[in-house]
Structure 1
Amino acid sequence: MPSLAPPLFELGHAEEFASSGRTLATAFSPRDESLAVYATNNVDPQSSQRTYPDVQPVYFASPQAAPVAERRTFISDTSVVFELVQNLSMVSQQENSNAFRVDDRPNVIRKLAYDYVNHTKEVWVYVTREIAKGQPRQYTPDHYRILYSCFSLFTLLYAPGTEAERIPVGEDLMEWLNTHYVEPSSEEGIQLSAQDEPWQNEAFWPYITRATVRGLSKATAFFLDILASKHPSPHLQRLSKSLAPLLTGHPRIQQFTAERDFAIASRRWKEKTKTLRLELDRIPEEARDDGFENWWDRISDIVGILEGRGEVIKRICEEVGADWKEVTAVWGVYVDGRLRRAELPDVVTAILDDMPSDPTDLEDAIQSSLLLGKPIQALSYAAQFDVWLAAHMADLMQALGLIENETTDSDIPLRDYYVLQYAEYMRLDPSCWRHTVSYLCTCGTVGHEMADQVLMRVALRLQTPKDSQTANEESARIRAGILDGVLKEVNATCFEHQREAVRRMVCRIAAQTFLREKNYGLAISYCASAEDWPGMGRIVDRVLDEYIINGPASFAHTVANIAPTLQSLRSQNGNNLNGVFIHRLRFAVRFAEFHQRRLNGELEDAALDVMDIFQEEIVPTSWWAVVLCDTLDLLRNNERFYFASEDAYLLMRKVEEIALQTTHGSGSDYLAILARTIKNGDEKLALQRVQMVRLALTRYYARCGVIDVGGKMSVFSK
C-alpha cells in the first residue's frame, strides 16, 4: 500500500485502516483485463462510526501495460498480414478453388511469414534509432530483436517453401546466425588490418578462427594473404597460400542447380582438405611457434573445422564464447553439408547434451524448441515472452498443418488459444478494437461470442462535445447525416464478420443516443437499420411530443431532417412498409411539412397537405382534433378559399365523428392530445376547440355555396 499514489494508508498503519471499518474490494472491467481496487465498508454502514473521508481513491491495475506508440503501429501493420493468412486459409478450404495451385500454397505462406519477419525488423530498427535519440519507448530494442530472430528461425525451419524444403539447411542456418548474432565484429577486423604484424595481437587468431567458423571466408583469406606475404615462418607462408583458396573455394549449395553437382564438388574439396592436413602434419615441431603464438595449433584448428571434425568444432566454439546455435550452424556447413531440416532434431539433441541451452533465457528456449522440432513447446515459451509471437506463429503453424489437431485441456484448438490470448492483450487498448475483433472472429464460436462483447462496448462518442466550437461542428456534421466516425466503422466491422445481431444492438444504442440529442432523423435511420420497429414508434412519439411541448414552429424545425430518412425507407421497402410505426412516421413528417408551409405563408399548399393526410388516412384518430384545430386560420381567411366544398365536407365528417364518439364516452381517444396542447386544458376545453372548428367549417361551407366554390353540393344533402 505505501507504493500507491496517493497511498491508501501510511506504512505501519494497517491496523488503523482495518479499525476504521474499511476493507479492500475489487471489480473487474467488462471492457478489458484491468482491475479496480478500492476501499469499502466491511460492516453495516448504518451501524458503523465513520472515521475516514467520504472520498475514497480507486486504484487501477492491469496484468500488463496497454500497447502505445510504436507497439500500436506494430500491431496494426502485422494485422494486415494476419488477415491475408486468413484469406488464404479460407480460399484453400473452398472446393474447386482456382485461386492458386496446390503447389503454390507453401510458397505463399513463406512469403507471408517473411512479411512478419520484415515488420519485426523494421520496428526493431525504428526503436533502436529512437532510443539513440533519447526518445523513450514502451519496449526495448532487444525485445524486438528477439522477435525478429525467433520469427526468422521459425520461417526458415517451418515455412521454407516448396524448393527449399528439399535442399540442405546448413547454409540457411549460417546465414540466419550471421544476420542475428554478428561475430566477429567488423571493428575487430578493421583494427587488425591496420597493424603491420597483426599476428602479434592476441585477438588475431581468435578473430580468423571465428571468421572461419562463421563461413566468412573472404575475411579469413585476407589475413591469410598477410601471413603469406609478411610472416617470418616460410612454413606458415606456404600453408597460408594453400589455405586461402581452399576457404574461398568451399562449395555452397546456392552455387549449384543440382544437389548431385554440389555433392561431387564437396567430395573434391574434402580431398584437398586432406592434402592440406598431410602437409600440415609434416611441419617440424620446432618450427611450429613464431615466438609469440603456436601458429601450428591455430592453423590445425582451422583445418579441423574444414574437415568437419565435430569435437574440434565444439571445443573451438566454447573457446571463442559461442553457444549451441553456432555449433548447429557450423555442423550443417562443415560436418554434414547435406543435412536436411527433418534431420536437425537429432543433431541438435546431441549438441545440447554437451552444450545445453539456458532455460532461463526465453530467446534460447524458443529457438532450441524450434530446432528440436517441438513447435508446441516453442509456442509455450513464446507466449511467456510476447503473446504476439505465440499468436502469429500458432496461426502459421495451423496453416502449415503442424498443430491442426492439437487442443488445450478445455478442448480449444491450440492455435485459437494463443490468438485469444493475444486478443485479450489488445483489449487493453480501446483503440485496437478493430484488430481485436478481426482476431477473435477467426477463433470459432468462443471467439465470435467474445467479439460480440467487444463490439457492444466500443465507445461510439455520439454525444455532442461540450466545447462550443467543437459542438457546433459536430452538430453540423450530424445534421448533414455524415457519420464517418466510430459508429460507421462498427457497422462495417459487423457486416464484415457477419455479426448481424450485434450490429442491430449497436444501431439501437446509437438510435437512443441520437434520440437524446433530438437528432430524430438519424435516430429513426438507425432504428430502421436495426429493424427495431417498437423503438421507431417511441421515437415518433417523441417527435410528436415536440409539437405538444414546444409548438408548431419548433416541431416543424425539428422534423425537417426526418423527411430524407422517410424517403429512404419508402424506397427500400416499397409499399410494404412495416406496420403502424412507419405509418405514424409518415404522419409526423407530413404534419410538419404542413406547419412549415403555414409558417412560410404557403397557405394553398398547406391546405393541400391537410387534405392529403386525411384522404390517405395516415392521421391517427388521436390527432384528428389537433389537425382540425390547426386549420382554423385557413378556414377563417375571408380573402381566399383554400378548400373545395367537398374538402370542407370531409373535414366536417371528422368533426362530427369526434363529437359523436365523445358523446358515447370515447372522448379521451380523440381529445387527449389536443387537451395537452392547451394550458391547464382538459377534455371539456378540447371539445370547445373542436366546436369552434365545426362553426368555422359551417360558415366556410356557407360561403362556398354563396359564391359557388366547389360546386352546388350541400353538406347536409350528403
Structure 2
Amino acid sequence: MAVSQHLNLAPPLVHSGRVDELIQQGQTLSASLSPSSNSLAVFVTSTATRVQKADHSEEQPVYFASIDATPSSDRRLFVSDTSVIFAAFRNLMNAAHDESLEWLQSEKNYNIIRKLAIDYINHIKECWIHVSQPTGSLESSLQFSSDHYRSLYTCFSLFVVLYLPEFGLDDAPVGDDLMEWLNTHFIEPSTEEGDQLSGLERPWEDDTFWPYLTRATLRGLSKASVFFLDILSKHPSEDLQRLSKELKPLINSQPNLQNFSAERDFAYSSRRWNDKVKSLRLDLDRVPEEDRHDGFDNWWDRVSDIVGVLEGREEVILKICEEIGGDWKEVAVAWGVFADIRLRRQDIPEIVGQVLDDMPPDPTNIEDMIHSALFGGQPAKALEFAAKLDPWLAAHLADFMDALNLIETEAEEESGVSLRDQYTLEYADYLHSDSALWRITVVYLCSCGNIGKERADEVILRVPLQLRRRKDITVVSSEEERIRAGDVVGVLKEVNATCFEYHREEVRRTICRIAAQIFVEDKDFGLAVSYCASAEDWPGLGRVVDRVLEEYITNGPAHFARYVADIAPSLQALRSQPGSPGVFVHRLMFAVRYAGFQRRRMDLELQDAALDLVAMLHEDIAPKAWWGILLCDAVDFLQVDPTLLFSYSEAITLLQTLQEIFTRSEQNSGDDYLSILIRTIKGGEKEALDRLKTVRLWLARYFARCTVIGVGGKHVTERRSYAVS
C-alpha cells in the first residue's frame, strides 16, 4: 500500500506556504516511529548545531498520527477470519516445497488451492452482506462501506474465474463462466424494471421496454426474455407476433457448455442453433419496410438488434452496449457467449484489448482498473491497483499469483524481496497499526522469508506481556494468579507458542529474559529463575540469585528464606540441565542451602542448623564474600551451654576460615571477604574486623569448653593455643 507523502495535522504545525518561516527560526519538523505499531509522533525540533538556551515557557505540541487507520471491530473480524485461510494456504505451499516441482499438476493439490480461493470469496461475501444491513448504528461504525467489500467480492471472484477454473477446464470455452460472473456481480437489467414493465397493459409503448428486452437477451436471461416475448403476442403487428414466437425457442435452446460432456458436442449443437438464427434473420428481412413501425417505435430495428446479438455480430453488440449504457465488460463477456463461443482464457486479452480501444475502463474507478488488468492478462498490474483499493486484496491475490507462477517469483536484486512478499509485507504493515493483531501480523511476516521473519521478531519483542503486578487493584485476576503459580498463560503463552511455531528461538529466549527481569522487579524470584533457565541466560540467573541474596542484606533472614523457598524447586532441574554453567548453579545452591540454614535456625533446629553452616564452609559452597556472615551466624551456636553443637573438627574449620579472612585482609584483599558483612552492619572494614574479633573470642571460649570436658588432645590443645594467640 502506497504511503501518502503528506500528513494533515489539525491544528497545523506549519501553515501552507510558510515553511520558510520555520526554517528561519532554526526549527524543523521531526517524526519518530512507534516501536509497537506503524504510528508516529510529529514534533518541532531545533536545527541549531550548538545547544542554546531554550525558552521552556512555551510548550511544543506533539502530534500522534497513524500511517493506516486502526482496523475497526468489523474489519478486525474480517482480517482475523481470512487469516485462517491464509495460514492453511501457506501450510500447503510449505509442504509443496518438499515435493516435486509438478505438485500443482496434481488434481488434489489444485482443488485444495481452488477451494481456499473460494473460501476467501465466501468470507468476503458474508462480510459484504453483513455491512449491507440497513442498521443505523452499524453503518455509523463501519470503517469500510458495503460497496468496498462488494468491490473485493467482484475482483476476487473474477480472478478465480479467469485463473483458477475447475481442474482440467483451463483450456475450455470461458464465455458462460464470464457471463455468470457478470450477472452475479453487475445485475442488469434490474428486477424493478421488469416488475414495472410487467404491470403495463401495453409495455412495448414504454421507452424502457425494448432496451430491457435487448439487455436481457444480451445477458442470457432467457426467462425474462421469453416472458416479454410472450407479451408481444398481443402486439398489433402480426409480423412481430410471428417473429417473437420464433424467437422464444431460440433463446430457450441456446447451447450452454455446462450441459455437454464433450466440447465437440457443444460446438455441433451451437452450429445447428446458429443455422436456426440465420433462418430467423431471413424471415425478419422479408418484413416489408412499411410494416416495421408500430407508431411508437421501429420494432423491426429492435428485433434486428436482438437477432444480431444471437448471430454474434461484434458491431451490433458494441452498438447495443453503448446505447443501453453498458461498459467494456459487457461487450467482452457477450463476445465470448455470442461472437466466439469457443473463446479460451488465453485469447481473452486480445479480445479485451480490441474492446478497450473503443470503450476504455474508467481510470477513476480502481475496481474497474483491476477488472481490466485481470481480463487483459496483466496480473502484476492488477496487483498495483489492488493495493490502492485495499492492501488485503493485493496481499491475498499475490499469494495465489505467486503459487500459479502468474507473476515474477524471484526476489528483486535491489530489495531482496519478491513481488508477492512486497504486497504481503505492506499488508502486514497495515495490520501492525493495531497492536492487538500482532499474532496475525506475525503470521503474514513469517511467510516472507528472512526479511519478514526479522521484522516479525521485532513485532514479537514489543508485545506487552502484561506480567507486572497491578498495584492499583485489590482483586487479582485468575490469569495473574496462574502466572504467579508458574503457569505459562495469557499473552506470554501465546508469544511462546508463536516463537515455537515459527522457530524464532532467539526471540523466545529474549522474551524469557524480559519476563525474568519483570519477575525480579516484582520479587517473583522462583519464576525469574525458571525463565532465566528457559532462556539459558546464565548471567541473568546469577543476577537473580544476587537479588535474592540482597534480600538478606536489606530485609533480614526471614524475608530471604521466604523468597528462596520459591526458587529451591528449580535447583534440581538446573543441576541436571545440559549446558548450565556450574558457577551460576553453585551460587544458586548456596542461596538455597543458606536459606535452609536460616529456616532451621528460626525453627530452633539448632543441631541441624550448625551442621548446615559448617558444611557450607567445608564443602566450599559459600562464596568468600559470605564467610564473614556465616562466622557471625556461628556465634549463636557457640554460645549455647552446656551443649556443644560443633564437633572439635568443625570448630577448627570455623577457626581456619576466620584466620584466612584476617590474613587476606592484612594483604589488602579484605574487599573479597568482607563486602557483604560491611553492608550488613553498615560500617567499614575496621568495624567488620572488629565484629569478627568477637567471633574469635567466642571460638576461644568454645575451645576452652572443649578442653574442660575432655574433647580433643594435647596436640590439638597446642594447635588451638597457637591459633587463638
The TM-score normalised by the length of structure 1 is 0.90
Counterpart residue type for residue 631 of structure 2: L
Quote the Cα distance in structure 1 between the aligned partners of 2:104 and 2:699.
79
**CA 577–195 in structure 1, closer or farther in 2 if over 3 Å, else same:** same
- Structure 1 residue 618: Cα displacement: 2.1
- State the Cα deviation string for residues 57-88 of structure 1 (Å, max 9, x = none): 10123333232322222222222222222222
Counterpart mapping for 1:591-610 below 5 A: 591-603=594-606, 606-607=609-610, 609-610=612-613
1:621 counterpart = 2:624: yes
Corresponding residue SS for 2:140: coil
- Counterpart in 2 of 1:37? 42
Aligned 8 A contact 2:131 2:142 in 1: yes
Counterpart mapping for 1:278-427 below 5 A: 278-405=282-409, 408=412, 410=414, 412-427=417-432
- Structure 1 residue 649: Cα displacement: 5.1
Quote the Cα distance in structure 2 between the aligned partners of 1:212 and 1:314.
14
- Structure 1 residue 19: Cα displacement: 7.8
- Counterpart in 2 of 1:580? 583
Aligned 8 A contact 2:232 2:241 in 1: yes
Counterpart mapping for 1:268-287 below 5 A: 268-287=272-291
Match of 1:491 among 470, 492, 496: 496
Quote the Cα distance in structure 1 between the aligned partners of 2:606 and 2:241.
115
Quote the Cα distance in structure 1 between the aligned partners of 2:648 and 2:239.
131
- Counterpart in 2 of 1:256? 260
**CA 302–580 in structure 1, closer or farther in 2 if over 3 Å, else same:** same
Aligned 8 A contact 2:274 2:311 in 1: yes
- Counterpart in 2 of 1:106? 110
- Counterpart in 2 of 1:549? 554
RMSD over aligned Cα atoms: 3.4
**CA 609–341 in structure 1, closer or farther in 2 if over 3 Å, else same:** farther
- Structure 1 residue 156: Cα displacement: 1.4
- State the Cα deviation string for residues 378-425 of structure 1 (Å, max 9, x = none): 112222222222222112111111224455472532212222222222
The percent identity for this pair of structures is: 55
- State the Cα deviation string for residues 233-268 of structure 1 (Å, max 9, x = none): 333332222222221221111111111221122122
- Structure 1 residue 342: Cα displacement: 0.8
1:62 counterpart = 2:38: no
Corresponding residue SS for 1:164: coil
1:163 counterpart = 2:168: yes
- Counterpart in 1 of 2:722? none
Match of 2:224 among 209, 216, 219: 219
- State the Cα deviation string for residues 527-580 of structure 1 (Å, max 9, x = none): 22222222222222121111111111111222332123334323433xx64121
Aligned 8 A contact 2:229 2:248 in 1: yes
- State the Cα deviation string for residues 649-679 of structure 1 (Å, max 9, x = none): 5445444444454455544322221221113
Quote the Cα distance in structure 2 between the aligned partners of 1:479 and 1:614.
34
Match of 1:192 among 171, 194, 197: 197
**CA 270–714 in structure 1, closer or farther in 2 if over 3 Å, else same:** farther
- Structure 1 residue 501: Cα displacement: 2.6
Corresponding residue SS for 1:424: helix
Aligned 8 A contact 1:2 1:9 in 2: no
Counterpart residue type for residue 116 of structure 2: L
Counterpart residue type for residue 668 of structure 1: D
- Structure 1 residue 284: Cα displacement: 3.0
Deviates more, 1:473-482 or 1:581-590: 473-482
Counterpart residue type for residue 687 of structure 2: L
- Counterpart in 1 of 2:3? none
Counterpart mapping for 1:146-161 below 5 A: 146-161=151-166
**CA 688–217 in structure 1, closer or farther in 2 if over 3 Å, else same:** same
Aligned 8 A contact 2:103 2:109 in 1: no
**CA 65–639 in structure 1, closer or farther in 2 if over 3 Å, else same:** farther
Corresponding residue SS for 2:31: strand
Aligned 8 A contact 1:465 1:474 in 2: no
**CA 130–570 in structure 1, closer or farther in 2 if over 3 Å, else same:** farther
Quote the Cα distance in structure 1 between the aligned partners of 2:490 and 2:330.
53
Quote the Cα distance in structure 2 between the aligned partners of 1:2 and 1:160.
44
Aligned 8 A contact 1:645 1:713 in 2: no
Quote the Cα distance in structure 2 between the aligned partners of 1:468 and 1:257.
72
Quote the Cα distance in structure 2 between the aligned partners of 1:81 and 1:135.
29
- Counterpart in 1 of 2:236? 232
Quote the Cα distance in structure 2 between the aligned partners of 1:56 and 1:130.
45
Aligned 8 A contact 2:479 2:490 in 1: no
- Structure 1 residue 306: Cα displacement: 1.4
Corresponding residue SS for 2:520: helix
- Counterpart in 2 of 1:244? 248
Counterpart residue type for residue 582 of structure 2: G
Q: Structure 1: which 5+ residue stretches go unaligned? A: none
Aligned 8 A contact 2:467 2:480 in 1: no
Quote the Cα distance in structure 2 between the aligned partners of 1:287 and 1:79.
64
**CA 309–101 in structure 1, closer or farther in 2 if over 3 Å, else same:** closer
Aligned 8 A contact 2:538 2:580 in 1: no
Deviates more, 1:466-475 or 1:534-543: 466-475
Corresponding residue SS for 1:40: strand
Quote the Cα distance in structure 1 between the aligned partners of 2:306 and 2:638.
115
- Counterpart in 2 of 1:683? 685
**CA 351–703 in structure 1, closer or farther in 2 if over 3 Å, else same:** same
**CA 668–130 in structure 1, closer or farther in 2 if over 3 Å, else same:** farther
Q: Structure 2: which 5+ residue stretches go unaligned? A: 1-5, 720-725
Quote the Cα distance in structure 2 between the aligned partners of 1:49 and 1:540.
46
- Structure 1 residue 42: Cα displacement: 4.9
- Counterpart in 1 of 2:723? none
Counterpart mapping for 1:438-587 below 5 A: 438-469=443-474, 476-573=481-578, 577-587=580-590
Quote the Cα distance in structure 2 between the aligned partners of 1:226 and 1:607.
114
Deviates more, 1:321-330 or 1:689-698: 689-698
Counterpart residue type for residue 461 of structure 1: Q
Aligned 8 A contact 1:701 1:715 in 2: no
Corresponding residue SS for 1:162: coil
The TM-score normalised by the length of structure 2 is 0.89
- State the Cα deviation string for residues 353-384 of structure 1 (Å, max 9, x = none): 12111222211111111111111111122222
**CA 320–685 in structure 1, closer or farther in 2 if over 3 Å, else same:** same
**CA 29–312 in structure 1, closer or farther in 2 if over 3 Å, else same:** same
Corresponding residue SS for 2:133: helix
Match of 2:181 among 151, 176, 188: 176
Number of equivalent positions: 712
Quote the Cα distance in structure 2 between the aligned partners of 1:110 and 1:46.
63
Deviates more, 1:67-76 or 1:97-106: 97-106
Counterpart residue type for residue 620 of structure 1: P
Deviates more, 1:283-292 or 1:331-340: 283-292
Quote the Cα distance in structure 2 between the aligned partners of 1:449 and 1:385.
28
Corresponding residue SS for 2:45: strand
Aligned 8 A contact 1:2 1:8 in 2: no
Deviates more, 1:497-506 or 1:246-255: 497-506
**CA 651–101 in structure 1, closer or farther in 2 if over 3 Å, else same:** farther
- State the Cα deviation string for residues 275-300 of structure 1 (Å, max 9, x = none): 22222222333333333333222222
- Structure 1 residue 41: Cα displacement: 3.7
- Structure 1 residue 140: Cα displacement: 1.6
- Structure 1 residue 704: Cα displacement: 7.5
**CA 100–634 in structure 1, closer or farther in 2 if over 3 Å, else same:** farther
- Structure 1 residue 700: Cα displacement: 5.9
Aligned 8 A contact 1:21 1:48 in 2: no
Corresponding residue SS for 1:60: strand
Aligned 8 A contact 2:182 2:330 in 1: yes
Counterpart residue type for residue 258 of structure 2: Q
Counterpart residue type for residue 684 of structure 2: D
